[in-house]
Structure 1
Amino acid sequence: MKASERLIARLREIGLDLPEGSRLVRVHPSRAMRNEGAWSWSAYGPGGRELLIGSQYPMAELLAAERLDTMQVVSGAVGSDTEVFPAKACQRCGRLASTACRICRVPFCATCFSDHHHEGYGTPASDS
């Protein structure tokens, strides 16, 4: 079974509506484009209709992830797209992470992130 077929089955397991005959098409963006959020693959239904589902993560990385999650991304006049990504656990409590620290890139849930700080970042260097 191809990676794309295995991923379609996994996407259906997490509740995405992919009709029979759907296929995933690799987009092949450059690494720089992917770092800016460009999709690595996109889903198409029967007859080539775009399903507005995709991810910046390669199919192999999503298949290797323990859990997957989705989020709605606004895409201008078209409406919203569904982006698939590997669900990460909060570094402290193990619940589903909702964000990652911009400095250390560690995943945290909103509760644990509220008291995650880096020494000297965002605070004055002296009392003056």
Structure 2
Amino acid sequence: MTIAERLIARLREAGLDLREGSRLVRVYPSRAMRNEGAWSWSAFGPGGRELQIGSQYPMAELLAAEKLDTMQVMSGAVGSDTEVFPAKTCQRCQGTAVAACRICRRPHCRPCFTDHHHEGYAAPTEQTW
């Protein structure tokens, strides 16, 4: 089985509607485009219709992830797309992380992230509110 076929099987297990004959196509964005959120691959249905499912993470990285998560993202006036990403665990409470610190790169959930600060980076080390 190819990486794309194994990822399709895993995405089906995660609950995404990928019918028999669906395929994943690599997009090959530049590194700068990928850093801005450009997708590395996109899903197409059996008839070649784009399914509005994809990810900025490479297929191999998603296969290696312990757990996958999805998020609806707006794609302009036409509706929303489903982005697939590796689910990360919050460093403090072990919940599902939604953000990573720009300084230490550790993932955090929203409540833990609001209390996460670094000395010397113009961020208070104690709550000021």
What is the TM-score when the length of structure 2 is the normalising length?
A: 0.90
Equivalent AA in structure 2 for residue 9 of structure 1: A
Residue of structure 2 equivalent to 1:11: 11
Q: How does 1:82-97 map to 2 (within 5 A)?
A: 82-97=82-97
Helix, strand or coil: the match of 2:53?
Answer: strand
Deviations 1:19-68 (A, max 9, x none): 11100000011111111111000000011000000001100000001111
Say if 2:62 and 2:86, in contact at 8 Å, map to a contact too: yes
Determine the C-alpha separation between the residues in 1 that align with 2:76 and 2:122: 33
Residue of structure 2 equivalent to 1:100: 100
Equivalent AA in structure 2 for residue 38 of structure 1: A
Helix, strand or coil: the match of 2:121?
Answer: coil
Determine the C-alpha separation between the residues in 2 that align with 1:75 and 1:24: 19
Shift of 1:120: 3.6
Determine the C-alpha separation between the residues in 2 that align with 1:111 and 1:65: 24
Is 1:21 the counterpart of 2:21 in the alignment?
Answer: yes
Residue of structure 1 equivalent to 2:57: 57
Q: Give ranges in structure 2 of 5+ residues lacking alignment.
A: 125-129
79-88 vs 95-104, which moves further: 95-104
- Which structure shows the bigger proportion of residues in helix conformation? 1
Is 1:72 the counterpart of 2:98 in the alignment?
Answer: no
Determine the C-alpha separation between the residues in 2 that align with 1:123 and 1:18: 45
Determine the C-alpha separation between the residues in 2 that align with 1:98 and 1:77: 25
Helix, strand or coil: the match of 1:24?
Answer: strand
Shift of 1:72: 0.7
Shift of 1:121: 3.2
Aligned residue pair count: 124
Equivalent AA in structure 1 for residue 55 of structure 2: S
Identity of counterpart residues, as a percentage? 81
- Stretches (4+) displaced over 6 A: none
Q: Give ranges in structure 1 of 5+ residues lacking alignment.
A: none
